[in-house]
Structure 1
Amino acid sequence: MLAATTARIDAKKRAVLDSRKKQFAKATWEAETYDYRMNFYLTPPTGDIALEQFEEWAIARLKVLAELEACQFRNRSPAETEEYMRPVLEKYMRLSSNASKSSEIFTERKRDHYSHWTLRLAFSGTAELRQRFARLEAQLFRLRMQWDDAKERKEFIASLAMSWETVSEEEKLQWRAELKAATRVWDKEEEENYFKVQWENVPDLVERRMCLLKRGMAYVHIREQSGMVVNEFSRQLESALELAGRFLPRMDEDDRLSPILHHLSQQFVAPDSGYSESSSIGDITTPTAASIDGLSQHFPLCMQNLHRELRKNSHLKHFGRLQYTLFLKGIGLSLQEYKFKSEYLYNIRHSYGDVGGDANRRGKGYTPYSCQKLLTEAPPSSGQAHGCPYRTYGPDNLIALLQNVGVSDRQLLQGVREDVGKQRFHIACNRVFEHAHAAQIKKVKEESLWPASELDTILHPNTYFKRSFLLKNLGKVQAGDLGVDGPVQSSGGSERMET
């Protein structure tokens, strides 16, 4: 009976039901193609990528969005934002045009497509994250539209299923005077092309009286077309994020993806930035315990706070000691420069990788903490001084702390207070840095001494230190990582770093 039943099952159906064969079956979807570098991201990715790429591409895109948001927080003009963002996009999310004939076009566009959808999942969990993501993605889309090749932009727009109609020559002739007045086309050389759309789709143009209204239709000049495309992109993305938010709970069942998505969502506090050995100044000068007091002028507030606490009490509690020790290790201070108290000997040697063997990062020890780690760790309790002061101090105490380290500009302090109130902690820190180094940053920009990428948003205390050190020693140190005209000397402090 069983044999007869089996025989009656269609062979094709049996193949589909066989899970061992199903996993090797040919995909029923079409392979991804990218005809344009612009993308509405209407369809999710269908191919396979490694988990490492899944996270790596998303982090690269997140850095772009973070820099774009930082431009807004710093009140950069549209022109300044464009100038600032060009090298950032070139570094993290390059998109070559079709005319470039680049062999990397498909890879670049695939990375752009996948990274957008990864972050869409990561930031769909709450209304606030969805709003931030949609706003920044729309800004990124607008920038790319402005930079796109005119021919390719026109072809991309033509490929979209937009609800507009081209205004015929007869209609243009009929309404020409009113069209020109309503859309403010006074230049005889300006292109007189128009399209019409339901007025509800262009409320901003109606509000600004930049279109002609006739029988429920808005007649719009061609120059407004790119803005309408951006608005439609925003509208569709916001709707899609709502759907993604409902789907997100199912992702918790995947123990491979959910930790990555959670980690990415945390990075909207401050994008993570791994420590690089290039953040050390060991190739320029040799930091010693005796030079730390002099070098502390280049420390970010979190490390200045720990340094002052150590000098005041000759002691730091465990988490503060670990944070400060790793920072000093990162700037190039050697283990031999420490004067150990016996109870801390093993911990400090372990941080440096002097003990612990292969289990301890193969003898390299732990890496210095990033801003993101300091901002997302548990805050210090009474008597502790670790973490990020911009987050852990109350506004009045923070202002007092900044004044104690020499920050006195009232407008700057007010900007810091506003940043902290909106939980833009790393932006507040960058604001203080840029004010303290304004003259040097201006010189670097005007004389093109550094690549623009060397002045992007600081996301790591050790990056803060080295950039400050290099800017304050421009006459002695070349740009970049950055070569040396001669040793840079620092003075002050004790013979050994006592912890």
Structure 2
Amino acid sequence: MIKRDINRVDANRRTILNPARKQFATKAVEGEYTHRLNFYKDTPKGDITLEQFEQWAIDRLRVLAELEACQFRNKNSVETAAHMKPLLDKYLPLSASTLNSPSIQSERQKDHYSHFILRLAFSSTEDLRRRFARVETSLFRIRFQADDARERQSFVENMGLEWETVGDEEKMALSEELRAAGGGYPKRMEDESWFKVDWEKVPELVEGRRVFLKGGKAYVPGREQLGLVVPEFNSRLEKALEVTSRALPRLDEDDRLTPILNHLSQNFTTPDASYNSSTTSLHGADISARNVDGLSSSFPICMQHLHRSLRRDAHLKHYGRLQYTLFLKGIGLNLEECLVFWRTGFSKITDDQFNKEYRYNVRHAYGDVGGDGNRRGNGYSPFSCQKILMEHPPGPGEAHGCPYRHFSMDNLSALLQQVGVKDQEVLRGVKEDKEKQKFHLACNRVFDYVHKQEIKKVKDDGTWTSNQLETLVHPNEYFKRSYLLKNLDKVPKVEQGDVEMKG
């Protein structure tokens, strides 16, 4: 993993990839993207900057990670499409051709390139390939269903898919069978077009008994076109990923690209999020040392566990102190109050010992000491979920890390019950998420349970958008959203509208 925050791209690093090594060999042709939809069968051919390489991939990863979260939360297709629309508009917009938008080509170029960048990042293992194909297919399905009917039909015809149109003579000869397969529809055979395709290509339609089978062919009505196109997209992508995986060892390693690709694939475990103090602070809230105990009910369990350990032992080891100090800094606890908090927390030692052994580290985390090497005097940013999951696993006697990853299921269940999560269905869901290494989804599952009444209220009232309820990937974002939900009647509406974490 590269040490810098991948979301922060150095503006001076706009270097074009080395022509001897770059994957995209020639200048992109303006106007080459005829359709909004894409099967991604052609490798990109234009030059892009390293900054674009990173940022486009990060934006697509946000979309795919949220789409995967929808799948694990068992949202149906309608709920998923509604939830994903604002995120797609923000990170991967694709304007329809009929809008004549000046950004159409740049939007489609970003979509094209970002797909291939992540294809490189997620081809290394079977698990990554399978997950990537699944969520990319889901993304294609959403876009196909939302596309303009004429543009969609033009795209399908242009793909030259291996379907055979059923002629009028054959259609009439099989009219009873076709009508039976369609549940009595259509009443007039000339009102529906039909296609023949190998039955293995449309397993969903066969399973749903929505086609007529004869001689190894599935007769598919035109209204079921989605069931033809989506499996074809998935099949081609799976084959392409296999080809890419075999080619990876032969690719020239670019010392700028390899760490980026590795970091992207690691982020598929949990999406990364950059910290932005302007979007996680709570204006007007009393964030002080004396109030941390009360505020801790809105902490994620990683921070609740640190808080409980501190109160129990009057001590935390180094990484626990660092993780918790930066989190408290992120919720708005200023340096002086943080020093008061730690001094009272370390109640078993003298003032002299505290000043000699711990005071400097707190000041350093805030950037009060340490000079230019310490984020130019701004201190360090609070840890994201991804950083907590991937770096410095806890050892004996240490309380930092992510309980969903680092605890045994028995200990995790005990901790969750201590903080009020006793619903057996929720605990079973957390166990399944943990087994599948979907640690951030387990955390979101608990958040949804703890705040189910408040979430229902803001959804029913329409006061929060789906953007404001997207999957949490940062402890400080967790706290802010929890605090706002628990104080709906106290927090100004403008503050509630600023709940989203910036990426």
Give 1:281 deviation, angstroms: 3.2
SS in 2 for 1:88: helix
Query: Any idea what the Cα deviations from partners look like across 1:391-412, whole Å, max 9, x if unmatched?
Result: 0100001000111112111211
Give the counterpart of 1:473 among 457, 473, 487: 487
Output one character per residue of 1:91-129: Cα deviation in whole Å (capped at 9) or x when no partner: 211111011221111111111111100110000000010
| Deviation readout 1:126-172 (Å, 9 max, x if unpaired) | 00100000011001100110111111101110111211122222222
What are the Cα deviations for residues 227-257 of structure 1, in whole angstroms up to 9, with x where unaligned? 2111111111000101111111234621111
Residue in 1 that maps onto 2:142: 143
Specify whether residues 432 and 168 from structure 1 end up closer, same or farther in structure 2 by C-alpha distance, changes over 3 A only: same
- Aligned equivalents of 1:174 and 1:468: distance in 2? 63
Residues 180 and 243 of structure 1: CA distance in aligned 2, closer, same or farther (over 3 Å): same
Conserved? CA contact 2:26–2:47, under 8 Å? no
Q: What is the 5 A alignment of 1:165-176?
A: 165-176=164-175
Secondary structure, aligned partner of 2:241: helix
Partner of 1:386: 400
Alignment CA distance shift 1:216-1:403 (3 Å): closer
Aligned to 1:113: 112
- Distance in 2, matches of 1:241 and 1:393, equals 34
Contact preservation (8 Å) 2:404, 2:442: yes
Instruction: Tell me the equivalent position of 2:380.
Output: 366
Q: How many angstroms apart in 2 are the aligned matches of 1:319 and 1:335?
A: 18
Equivalent position of 1:298 in the other structure:
298
TM-aligned CA distance change 1:465 to 1:445, over 3 Å: same
Secondary structure of 1:430 counterpart: helix
Residue of structure 2 equivalent to 1:270: 270
**Amino acid of the structure 1 residue aligned with 2:156:** I
Counterpart secondary structure, 1:477: coil
Distance 1:435 1:163 in 2: 47
Q: Which structure 2 residues correspond to residues 320-469 of structure 1 after superposition, within 5 A?
A: 320-337=320-337, 338-339=339-340, 340=343, 341-342=354-355, 343-469=357-483
Match of 1:496 in 2: none
The equivalent residue for 1:31 is: 29
Quick one: which amino acid aligns to residue 371 of structure 1? C
For residues 470 and 125 of structure 2, what CA distance do their matches in structure 1 show?
Answer: 28
TM-score by length of 2: 0.88
SS at match of 1:309: helix
Query: 1:491 maps to what in 2?
Result: none
Structure 2: which 5+ residue stretches go unaligned? 1-17, 344-353, 499-503
Deviation at 1:205, TM superposition (A): 3.4
Q: Is the 8 A contact 1:198 1:218 kept in 2?
A: yes
Return structure 1 stretches of 4+ with deviation > 6 angstroms.
Answer: 20-23, 27-30
The alpha carbon displacement at 1:28 in A equals 6.2
Q: Secondary structure at the match of 1:219?
A: strand
Contact 1:470–1:479 (Cα < 8 Å) also in 2? no
One-letter amino acid of the structure 2 residue matched with residue 464 of structure 1: Y
What does residue 186 of structure 1 align with?
Answer: 185
Confirm or deny that 1:55 pairs with 2:54: yes
Please list the CA deviations of residues 259-315 of structure 1 after superposition, one character each: whole Å capped at 9, or x if unmatched: 000000000110001111134434232411011111111100000000111111121
**Deviations for 1:395-443, whole angstroms, at most 9, x for unmatched residues?**
0010001111121112111111111121111111001111111111111
Cα gap change, 1:456/1:207 in structure 2, threshold over 3 Å: closer, same or farther?
closer
**More moved, 425-434 vs 336-345:** 336-345
| Equivalent in the alignment of 2:225 | 225
TM-score (norm 1): 0.88
Aligned to 1:8: none
Tell me how far apart the structure 1 counterparts of residues 27 and 365 of structure 2 sit (CA, whole Å): 51
Contact 2:181 2:212 in 1 (8 A): yes
Q: Could you tell me the percent identity over the aligned residues?
A: 57
State the alpha-carbon separation in 1 of the partners of residues 373 and 495 from structure 2: 31
Deviations 1:322-348 (A, max 9, x none): 000000000000001113522112211
Q: Deviations over 1:183-231 (max 9, x none)?
A: 3343538942111123343344344443233444332111222221111
Q: Between 360-369 and 409-418, report the one with greater CA deviation.
A: 409-418
Distance 2:140 2:121 in 1: 19
Provide the secondary structure at the position in 2 that maps to 1:223.
Answer: helix
- Aligned-partner SS, 2:358: helix
- Larger Rg: 1 or 2? 1
Gap runs ≥5 in structure 1: 1-19, 485-499
The answer to whether structure 1 residue 92 and structure 2 residue 91 are counterparts is yes
Match of 2:349 in 1: none
RMSD: 2.1
